[in-house]
Amino acid sequence: MSATMGASDGGAVFRRMGRNLVWLLGGRGFQAVASLVYLGVAARTLGPRGFGEFSLILAYGQAIANVAQLQSWQTVIRYGMIHLAGGASQRLARLLGFTTLLDFAGAALGAAIALLAVPLVAGWLHWNPAEQGRAAWFGVALLLSIGATPTGMLRLVDRFDLITYVQAVGPSVRLAGSLIAWATGAGVDAFLIAWAAAALAQHAATWGTALACSRLPIAFGPAAWRAAHSENQGIWSFMITTNAAGTVSLLTEQLATLAVGGAVGATAAGGYRIAARIARALARPIQIAARIIYPEMARLHARADLATLDHVMARVSRYALALAAAVILIGVAGGPWLIRLLAGSAYDFAYATLAILAVGVAIDLSGFALEPLLVAHGRAATILRIRLVGAALFTVLLFALLPMLDATAAAIATVMAALLGRIWMGRSVMALPKGPQRF
């Protein structure tokens, strides 16, 4: 295919991506704004000490959820796109049954771990019996709400409009619960109930919408699961590597919050969470775009459309660099104002952490399209290696610097891990084979 045709097809891809981005930004944009509002309500209502306790319990449950939840939506798209292109509806049904089974198994196993692991970490996190009880029930509730197959189903059929609606359920419940807790002067328990109810409500809404509107069949039973394994070559290795890579990426923020809480105290952990959430909010639009790019790259890869794929990648990379620079400017120059707007002057101590985290977020954003491109080319194992080495560097720096730098240590470790990952991922993309052998 010529470069001109690639540019033409690339325009069609960007129009489709733009349409889907508008839908997701609508839902995710509301989610991002709502998340900052209800986090600010919690921070102001509970105060630094109470919010720190809340943050540690939240980080504990989310850390286990990140480990237990398979990134099954990526598997649904990676293999489901091939079955859709080939008209193999029965194979697609067996694939969806397989990923659904694994989602449910991960949720059950994670809930058991969340319940049983509380006594093991209670001493490190300085939890009293009441806090241990809160962590146990909240962890179980959160784990029962994991599972990404229905989201993958909706993405597979380009129903990003429906994803927008269902992803507004959780933030709406959480926001309403937070406002009720604030109005009644409630404590940590009320906020945890709001968070747990929101997670369960959104999970139920996503499954209900996927089943009703995607019109995709799902096949269950031992025979179907065995067939799914044989019909989708490399599915186990793909799921393990993408899940591990996603787990490592998501786990660092939770590990940092827990480590800061264990080493410095709950108040410092709460401040770190405020800084991390603001930094993540700055990156939210780009993270949403990355979720749209992956299905498009998987579609182009399935069609062996090299010219269009390269054209899309070049345009996306130019946008990413400009947006990364904007994130640094906003995080550094506007950091104090953002913290006071969100949580109040009682959390001014978190500014240095926010400024450093903004740099780490910008580094990630500068290459946000690299990971979807590598996954689309079947290089999930490469991403896993990058994430594992980055996590190892993060962990070493975190615990080495914590005694000297407190919460700032976690921010510095995040930046160094992001820099390593960005360089390595960029080199991996440059090393992709050229020409038809690339597919």
What are the CA-CA distances from residue 228 to residues 83, 150, 225, 239 (Å)? 12, 17, 5, 13
Q: How far apart are the first and last CA of the chain?
A: 14
Handedness of CA 172, 178, 182, 184 (dihedral sign): positive
What are the CA-CA distances from residue 276 to residues 73, 91, 105, 256, 331 (Å)? 25, 42, 31, 10, 11
Residue position matching structure tokens 């160094």: 416
Query: What are the two backbone dihedrals, phi and then psi, of residue 377, each rounded to the nearest 5 degrees?
Result: -95, 10
Contacts of 35 (CB under 8 A, 6+ apart): 171, 174, 277, 281
Distance CA(360)–CA(201), nearest Å, equals 33
**What pLDDT does 284 receive?**
72
Contacts of 438 (CB under 8 A, 6+ apart): 306, 377, 432
Domain boundaries, the chain: 3-438
**What pLDDT does 275 receive?**
96
DSSP class of 304 = T
Question: Strands, E, within 166-229: which ranges?
Answer: none
DSSP string, 318-341: HHHHHHHHHHHHHHHHSHHHHHHH
**What pLDDT does 242 receive?**
75
**What pLDDT does 432 receive?**
77
Contacts of 5 (CB under 8 A, 6+ apart): 307, 308
The pTM of the full predicted model, rounded to 2 decimals, is 0.81
Ranges of residues in the chain with a pLDDT under 70 are 1-30, 245-246, 285-314, 376, 433-439
Q: What is the dihedral of CA 424, 428, 430, 435, to 10 degrees?
A: 180
- For residue 313, give the nearest of 377, 250, 360 by alpha carbon: 377
Contact between 195 and 174 under an 8 Å Cβ cutoff? The reply is yes
pLDDT digits (tens, 9 = 90+) for 325-350: 888 999 999 999 999 999 999 999 99
Distance CA(24)–CA(233), nearest Å, equals 31
**What pLDDT does 373 receive?**
75
What are the CA-CA distances from residue 387 to residues 218, 238, 278, 330, 357 (Å)? 32, 15, 23, 27, 18
Contacts of 134 (CB under 8 A, 6+ apart): 57, 188, 189, 192
**What pLDDT does 129 receive?**
95
